[in-house]
Amino acid sequence: MSEIVNRVKESGLISIDLADFKPNSTIVEIDISEQLWKGLVLKEKDFRAWIKSNDWLQYTGKAVFIHCSVDAIIPTWAYMLIGSQLISNEVRFVVGSRIDLEKQLIEDRIKSEPLDEYVDGRIIIKGCADIKAPEHAMTFLVQHLQPVAKNIMYGEPCSTVPVFKKKR
């Protein structure tokens, strides 16, 4: 009886699962619409009172997206005031949607990935991950890896799509 050989493992292929970069932070929102007077207008005096009385420590260790869920004109300084409070508490945040925040968190995780083990590597990026914007994550991962990789493929080791091959 012959021994079973894992040809994929012996091939030197480096497999990266996109799911490894999925955000693991608790995501919360700050909806400015809750601070609008009669659901229409942001009053500076009332908004500043809310900024002063709000417990900003509740956001520590979380990732926050700031937005307005209603069609209202929100002055830029409102986002700046909220952002300033979050920065003071070292909170990761974006102004935009939940997906905007998830994209940024994925980018942060990819950027933190050391490139040493990928130098001249033959890399396969697995694509079946529960990520809201996989095309963004995939292309950002390629952008991060391509300067050092020998080649990059998409899919599974048994069936890949070539994405990049370093010129000799």
Tell me the C-alpha distance between 103 and 92, whole Å.
Answer: 13
Q: Is the pLDDT of residue 159 over 90?
A: no
Name the packing angle between helices 44-53 and 76-88 (round to 10°).
10
- Encode pLDDT of 109-138 as tens digits: 999 999 999 999 999 999 766 788 889 999
What confidence score (pLDDT) does residue 1 get? 60
* HSE-CB for 108 with a 13 A CA cutoff: 14
* Residue spans per domain, the chain: 7-21+115-165, 26-102
| Maximum alpha-carbon separation in the chain | 82
80 phi, psi to nearest 5 deg: -65, -40
The mean pLDDT of 82-106, rounded to a whole number, is 96
Range with the largest mean pLDDT of 17-31, 77-91, 117-131: 77-91
- The stretches of the chain forming alpha helices (DSSP H) are 7-10, 44-53, 76-88, 98-111, 134-145
Ordered alpha helix ranges (H), 26-75: 44-53
Q: What angle do CA 35, 37, 39 make, to 5 degrees?
A: 85
pTM equals 0.85
Site of tokens 């700031």: 66
Three-class SS of residue 17? strand
Helix 134-145 to helix 98-111 angle, to the nearest 10 degrees?
20
- Which pLDDT does position 11 carry in this prediction? 66
Q: Which two tokens stand for residue 136?
A: 């963004």
Q: What is the 3-state secondary structure (H, E, C) of 90-104?
A: CCEEEECCHHHHHHH
